Structure 1
């Protein structure tokens, strides 16, 4: 099958959406499918206000449609609710083509945090965007319930996986963590306001706090919290070593739909501390994590968890299974010659 994935989130961005799409594309190609990604780097784009690392493509439905027609896809998936996503949606609707969409992020909450607008004002736009899709792919049961509450009912499961060749308890610890006073508490992800990193950095639990990642909030957070170690964005063995070298992984976000970094940490043998909210409640259990409204209490609890149990639990998440769920949700495009046959 020739599959077109249209996404506003792509390289060089480093986030859960990009890593999910990269991993699923790799698995689909192993299965013999032909996957084409349409992303901002292929069109003229401008930096997103307040978040320059994100590029916003300036593209019309006709321009994107012409690019899609050149590959003649058998199925189209629109991954994000950005300029490219809206252009693909318009083109598919004009031409009567079926497509699927995904709900990767709590977009109304993110917009609310960045603009001050009520999240309820954004939900009508979400309903309008996803309404014509054949299915809205979502990672967890709680997000599917929330979407149904907001009138988006045609939802389908699409789980996440871990690259077990990269993330394991046997990864050599990152050298920057070696001499830090323990316990070492780690955050990995975008350094942005919606990730609630301030809650982690404000924790009173003794030990060392380490932040891996980059983003628009890094400079301000680094200035307010000179006691924390900011390592910037890491990948490959350096990232694996950060996970494996930490004593607890702290996930302070209240708005993520899944939290891919949590299962990467678990696969590395590192227990998770988080709030009892969507994402952690869906993904974690009490054997490998501690969820508490008090993040200090969550950290204290996580430090008592067995690292071998964490590694076993993290190994349950498979990108192959994720790719098969994605594939089963796609809706083949019926062309005129297919109808004639």
Structure 2
């Protein structure tokens, strides 16, 4: 097994600690392990081999290093080591490079989601960085064979990004190291005299929200003790001069400190898990933590601690005062805390981890059996898909495939659309004539696909059919993604039975806050479409793998349709899947040649788009009522000219 980590010794944090414990347990099982970690420091004390890769420190946080190995070097390393599975610990930069390398060699990957970089970007005041982090996180975990997340909050975060194949895998705790017997009266006397101790353990950085502990100032008979280090330490010492700052502790010293607290506090709202919370619970120390993220799964409120309302610092103070003022409650909560983590050993968690490794190997075998694997992994399509062979292409769907708002080089009132652009690209790959029909009509739903559109398609006997539909259903008040996908499944089965290749395209949303209320439905529906593609041997354009489609400049002024730039983008991504040579380069050239398009539409959005939509809804009508497909029969797409003629006869 090859274990690749973004964080490692000498910088100790939650990721490093988890990696060390997993390595220790796997070695005890007799597994062969190679660790790939950021250099330049070597670790001769580790009992397994470590391969160090080039890295550089973050400017504001030099203890954290960003590794950049390059996919070519990782491919060579994987070929030499020949791992059965690749474990990616909190992957981001190095992890993405490893995923590309693993796909080249068809090796299963298990990605451990442990760091909420999206929330971190927000905490560090990087609004643009937050969007980039979200898109990269989605793309990375979608590409991994299997993702393991430590909490229900982390799973929900990934699902909201459209990530499927997510399983729950928590963290173990060393109950021998962290135990109530470590409580030290001499240490308590040195730190607080006769006062009660409220303690925090963790990194001193913005995302941990340690500054919120200022809300505890002035509680009688209490001393605040902070264990840890990080870029915020100096500022926190100025803001909390009455607190004791112990710096970084480890081993027995850390265990003694945690067991000597009377109450453990954890204010960070962006935790995917909360390992220090588990260590406090194992030490018999009751916990007060924010009711968001990982702590929700760890702290049993009113049993072994309290969860306070996120952002409500008055509630934080009240919960701490409640425990400090009741010795019997602290003892009862502490006993329940120790009992509650008794089964969370690293040995048990590693047994679960190996089971996930085995599942990833089975899933990878399924992925590799998919005929159009390049469609699922677009970055590999050029080398693995043959030159297009189709001569009769039919496009099915709704307004996106009809081409609404793609007015590029078109007469007034007419539209092109991504499917027509794709037809032209496919025609240029052939010497023989290429025919194209577009049965898509605005406002159509899955029921229209399985009815009139499917019937007409079967009459036309195409050898290629594209299907992009479902968005109009999914934004409805009572959408059922499973039922919709089942209907698509039946339609795809009929198309495949008739010998047509099917390009399935997953529906997508603009990156707007209002659209995100539908994100879970879209994620579920798209996950089911991926299953349909595997079962029926379809080509798949998984648009979630291309997060740029959600950017505002891809969408028209009406906010619900693609503008010409978006249609071009979608057409070239589909062309890559279908094996059109140099599709990416052609797309970049096309974008430059049409950079003067997409001028703002006249009038306000409210009057031009929103009110007419509301009026139609009130009358039970849609924009597609009375409309017919713009190409209900084949048109001939010449190989070297952009003009179109109706097929004779």
Whether these two folds match at TM > 0.5 is: yes
Correspondence for 2:54: 44
Correspondence for 1:192: 205
Correspondence for 1:108: 118
How far apart in 2 are the matches of 1:314 and 1:210?
Answer: 24
Answer with 227-236 or 58-67: which moved more.
58-67
Correspondence for 1:289: 305
Correspondence for 1:12: 10
Q: CA deviation at 1:170?
A: 0.4
Q: 29, 32, 50: which one pairs with 1:31?
A: 29
Runs of 5+ unmatched residues, structure 1 = none
Q: CA deviation at 1:248?
A: 0.4
- Does the residue aligned with 1:59 lie in a helix, a strand or coil? coil
State whether residues 184 and 208 of structure 1, in contact with CA within 8 Å, keep that contact through their aligned partners in structure 2: yes
How far apart in 2 are the matches of 1:200 and 1:323?
Answer: 35
Correspondence for 1:299: 320
State whether residues 157 and 325 of structure 1, in contact with CA within 8 Å, keep that contact through their aligned partners in structure 2: no
Correspondence for 1:203: 216
How far apart in 2 are the matches of 1:221 and 1:301?
Answer: 25
Correspondence for 2:90: 80
Q: 116, 130, 134: which one pairs with 2:145?
A: 134
Q: 34, 57, 66: which one pairs with 2:67?
A: 57
Runs of 5+ unmatched residues, structure 2 = 40-51, 310-314, 370-649
TM-score (structure 2 length as normaliser)? 0.49
What whole-Å deviation, never above 9, does each CA across 1:167-186 have from its counterpart, x for those lacking one? 10001428443240522011
Change in CA separation of 1:149 and 1:44 when aligned onto 2, cut-off 3 Å:
closer
Change in CA separation of 1:115 and 1:86 when aligned onto 2, cut-off 3 Å:
farther
Correspondence for 1:220: 235
Number of aligned residue pairs: give it: 334
How far apart in 1 are the matches of 2:132 and 2:94?
Answer: 22
State whether residues 75 and 105 of structure 2, in contact with CA within 8 Å, keep that contact through their aligned partners in structure 1: no
Correspondence for 2:189: 178
TM-score (structure 1 length as normaliser)? 0.92
Q: CA deviation at 1:148?
A: 1.0
State whether residues 92 and 137 of structure 2, in contact with CA within 8 Å, keep that contact through their aligned partners in structure 1: no
Aligned-CA RMSD value:
2.0
- Does the residue aligned with 2:101 lie in a helix, a strand or coil? helix
State whether residues 197 and 253 of structure 1, in contact with CA within 8 Å, keep that contact through their aligned partners in structure 2: yes
- Does the residue aligned with 2:167 lie in a helix, a strand or coil? strand
Q: Which structure shows the higher helix fraction?
A: 2
Change in CA separation of 1:178 and 1:150 when aligned onto 2, cut-off 3 Å:
same
Q: CA deviation at 1:188?
A: 0.5
State whether residues 159 and 322 of structure 1, in contact with CA within 8 Å, keep that contact through their aligned partners in structure 2: yes
Correspondence for 2:101: 91
Q: 272, 276, 279: which one pairs with 1:264?
A: 279
Q: CA deviation at 1:123?
A: 1.5
Change in CA separation of 1:28 and 1:301 when aligned onto 2, cut-off 3 Å:
farther
What whole-Å deviation, never above 9, does each CA across 1:148-176 have from its counterpart, x for those lacking one? 12211210121111111211000142844
- Does the residue aligned with 1:78 lie in a helix, a strand or coil? strand
Greater relative contact order (Cα 8 A, min sep 6): structure 1 or 2?
Answer: 1
Compare CA radii of gyration and give the structure with the larger one: 2
What whole-Å deviation, never above 9, does each CA across 1:210-239 have from its counterpart, x for those lacking one? 111111111111122111111011011100
Answer with 272-281 or 79-88: which moved more.
79-88
